[in-house]
Amino acid sequence: MEEDDYRIVHTCGVCEEICDGDDFKNHPCLEGYNNYFIDENTLYFYPVLEDGVTIVRRSQINNEERIVAEPFQQGTSSRKRTPISRLNFDEEESLILEIQNRPSLWNFTLPLKDRSMQIKKQLWEEVAQTFNVLCQTSKMK
């Protein structure tokens, strides 16, 4: 195997055995189950019960190792969702400049009298007008 070659391995979530490639599909812990689930973050695989939403896995409960069944949510992982921008690059840059030109919106070192709610609301409305957007101040923030 060359240095640049990598091999994918999966780990059984029940017995912790490591399996090469697709060998996990024939793993004894999956016998009797029609489906399995692979955690994309850890590459652990788990048998899935007939309900299609419950996995079987090993768990430490009160310092005792047990096999437990618990629901999983496919398609949701620990990765954080990133918002999709509705602005193109030039619009984002313009928005940044508009906000930079209004220090009361971002400079917390200014006196409170210069950063009051009324002043901030007015400044956000100015920014919204720059983009010809009629929206609530809370949505613009």
Contact 64, 22 (CB under 8 A): no
Contact 137, 129 (CB under 8 A): no
State which amino acid sits at residue 47: P
Mean of per-residue pLDDT scores for the chain: 77
Rounded to whole angstroms, the Cα distance separating 119 from 47 reads 58
Rounded to whole angstroms, the Cα distance separating 48 from 55 reads 4
Rounded to whole angstroms, the Cα distance separating 43 from 24 reads 11
pLDDT in tens, 11-53: 998 888 999 888 888 899 888 888 888 888 888 888 888 887 7
With cut-offs at 50, 70 and 90, classify the pLDDT of residue 8: confident
Q: How far apart are the first and last CA of the chain?
A: 53
Which range among 5-14, 34-43, 80-89 shows the weakest confidence by mean pLDDT? 80-89
- pTM of the complete model beyond 0.85: no
DSSP secondary structure code for residue 53 in this structure: S
Which range among 92-96, 107-111, 114-118 shows the weakest confidence by mean pLDDT? 92-96
Q: For 112, phi and psi rounded to 5 degrees? A: -60, -35
Instruction: Spell out where the chain has E strands.
Output: 9-12, 18-20, 35-38, 44-48, 54-61, 64-71
